[in-house]
């Protein structure tokens, strides 16, 4: 197959969306790389296709008042089993899917760490994240509720949210962490990114110091 053949396949299968095209390019390139290792092919024609530039859309963080609405909803008797999970997303930047895969022994209460193991991570790489905002909540027996997706949706609705942006808690954490602590290398490690470029392109929403302070005060 030629480079032109590969480009035509990518255009047909993934359309004109730069983001979809880029993902498709990675998939097709990996197929040829596997073929080379198996000695089925001599070269990878996909590598000669320039990846499109993808303009990441910034996701606005939750306002401190909106964060408080979520936490207040989690204090209701029917949602108290969601308190730890909610704070892991807000104050540790852990993705909802990663939270849903955590086991009780992944939370080290003594060392105040959350271990996101490779089996739970979206990217397949593990990381240790500080455990924040759970003072007085310690609940070893019921870390992650059953029926996670349904429970998480119900909590958001109870807090008055009708429209929800996926991973907005993670973006909220990153935005206020950067604004408050000004330590991108530390934030990069906590987020599990290879470098700070993604932080700058997608997570760095300009935010005032006052909002950041209000957010982190709620972590106590």
For residue 197, being part of any structural domain is answered with yes
Parent domain of 180: 64-217
Report d(CA 60, CA 171) in Å as an integer.
Answer: 7
Same domain for 12 and 96, yes or no, is: no
Contacts of 10 (CB under 8 A, 6+ apart): 21, 24, 25, 28, 49
The better pLDDT of the pair 13, 203 is held by 13
Cβ 112 vs Cβ 131: under 8 Å: yes
Predicted confidence band of residue 160 (pLDDT cuts 50, 70, 90): very high
For residue 54, being part of any structural domain is answered with no
Same domain for 139 and 44, yes or no, is: no
Strand order in the sheet with 113-116: 107-108, 113-116, 127-130
Same domain for 87 and 187, yes or no, is: yes
For residue 58, being part of any structural domain is answered with no
pTM assigned to the model: 0.75
115 beta partners: 128
Domain count, the chain: 2
Q: List, for residues 99-157, the tens digit of each pLDDT value.
A: 988 888 898 888 999 999 887 777 667 899 999 988 777 655 456 778 889 999 999 99
For residue 32, being part of any structural domain is answered with yes
Same domain for 126 and 161, yes or no, is: yes
Same domain for 27 and 70, yes or no, is: no
For residue 91, being part of any structural domain is answered with yes
The pLDDT score that the predictor gives to residue 168 is 95
């Amino acid at each position: 197959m030629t480079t032109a053949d590969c480009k035509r396949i990518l255009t047909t299968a993934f359309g004109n969306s730069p983001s979809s095209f880029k993902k498709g390019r990675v998939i097709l390139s990996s197929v040829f790389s596997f073929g080379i290792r198996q000695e089925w092919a001599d070269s990878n024609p996909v590598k000669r296709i320039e990846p499109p530039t993808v303009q990441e859309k910034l996701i606005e963080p939750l306002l401190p008042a909106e964060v408080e609405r979520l936490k207040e909803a989690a204090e209701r008797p029917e949602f108290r089993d969601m308190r730890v999970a909610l704070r892991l997303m807000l104050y540790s930047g852990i993705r909802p899917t990663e939270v849903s895969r955590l086991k009780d022994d992944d939370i080290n209460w003594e060392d105040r760490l959350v271990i996101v193991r490779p089996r739970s991570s979206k990217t397949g790489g593990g990381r240790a994240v500080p455990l924040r905002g759970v003072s007085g909540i310690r609940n070893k027996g019921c870390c992650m509720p059953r029926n996670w997706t349904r429970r998480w949706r119900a909590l958001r609705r109870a807090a008055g949210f009708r429209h929800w942006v996926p991973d907005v808690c993670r973006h909220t954490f990153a935005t206020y962490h950067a604004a408050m602590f000004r330590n991108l290398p530390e934030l990069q490690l906590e987020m599990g990114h290879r470098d700070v470029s993604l932080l700058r392109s997608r997570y760095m929403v300009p935010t005032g110091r006052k909002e950041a302070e209000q957010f982190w005060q709620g972590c106590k």
